[in-house]
Amino acid sequence: MRIASFGPLAALLIALPLSSCAAPRHGPAPPITPTVIAETYVSAQNPGEELDSLATWRHPDGTIWLIATAKSSHRLVVFDAASGTRLRDVGAKGSEPGQFRRPNGIAVHGDLLFVAERDNHRIQVLSLPTFRPLGSFGQPALRSPYGLWLNPLADGAIEVYVTDNFMDGERFDVVPPLTQLDQRVRRYRVRIAEDGAPRAEETGHFGDTGENNALRIVESIAGDAAHDRLLIADEYQPQSTLREYTLTGRATGRRLPDDTFAFEAEGVALWACRNDRGYWVSVDQLSPLTVFHFFDRRTLTRVGSFTGRTVAATDGIALHAAPSAAFPKGALFAVHDDTSVAAFDLGQVAAALKLDRNCL
């Protein structure tokens, strides 16, 4: 998360996360010695964009798009996932359909693209590959939406989980009282109507209000329906971690060990394999090198960690496990220092960390 500038009206409406203004880019040394795996590529820098979250989409021609939210330029940036080449920009600053104000979380389901806009207080839905705006939802309940996770349901609806990082204080840098943290995640049931527009019904909000399990500073969220599990990154210092909730919003009391993250727990992704096996992936947002952690899907035990040779201060990640021409075993994509995107070959990662080859 980063600091942003706002006009007077926005300052009344928008909450900034504590970690944006209080936390340094450099944290202490990681508690483990990670393996080093070279990036397949690091794209050209895009200064001033403030790239944040990532999602992938397979074009009908077989190419893979890597779509990034660009918070400071208020648009989406589309890269060729095979090479990191910048293909196009989408949108501009504004509140009309197809425009964005501080886009952050992003997720893909089929040919639908969901984008969380912090400063428009909404989730916008667009159609791929044209990026035609279909509609939006979440207003007026959402105050500072950040992360997204989509859970397709058996009846064709989509369950959408949204983290809401509203804050208090004159500088919006104060975590609200525990009694208000039951609204840290909002859940919506979304159907796409015949005209293509999303029809959303809010089905509740949640967040534990106890001292031990509360979600204080939230952004990244991901889920595992097979194991009734949500992992939500709480960036609150000094013990940033991933907290476990059920899909219905009940805190289980489990979290990653306190020595897992030296700085801020960020982007979270599930690498689902056959027979309900696989791995959770999350990052420690460190400079000069991000640390990528892998955890057993079932037990949440850490099974390995690595750094690249360049990638630092990562916000969002995207795991694309399906094979492609450039990455026959799949790829892990990551934001580098707000300015670039990078790719790691999943085959190389699995070999270096001695992960289950059946996942490839």
**Per residue in 145-186, pLDDT tens?**
999 999 999 999 999 999 999 999 988 889 999 999 999 999
Residue 252: CB atoms within 10 Å: 14
Q: Look up residue 258 and give its amino acid.
A: D
* Tens of pLDDT, residues 182-212: 999 999 999 999 999 999 999 999 999 999 9
DSSP 228: T
pLDDT computed for residue 25 by the predictor: 54
Helix (H) or strand (E) segment spanning residue 200: strand 198-206
pLDDT computed for residue 29 by the predictor: 61
pLDDT computed for residue 32 by the predictor: 73
Under DSSP, is residue 227 helix (H, G, I), strand (E, B) or coil? helix
pLDDT computed for residue 27 by the predictor: 58
CA distance 105 to 316: 8
pLDDT computed for residue 5 by the predictor: 33
pLDDT computed for residue 194 by the predictor: 92
- In the chain the domains, ranked by start, together with CATH numbers, are 8-359 (2.120.10.30)
Below-70 pLDDT ranges, the chain: 1-31
Q: What is the pTM of this model?
A: 0.91
CA distance 219 to 184: 10
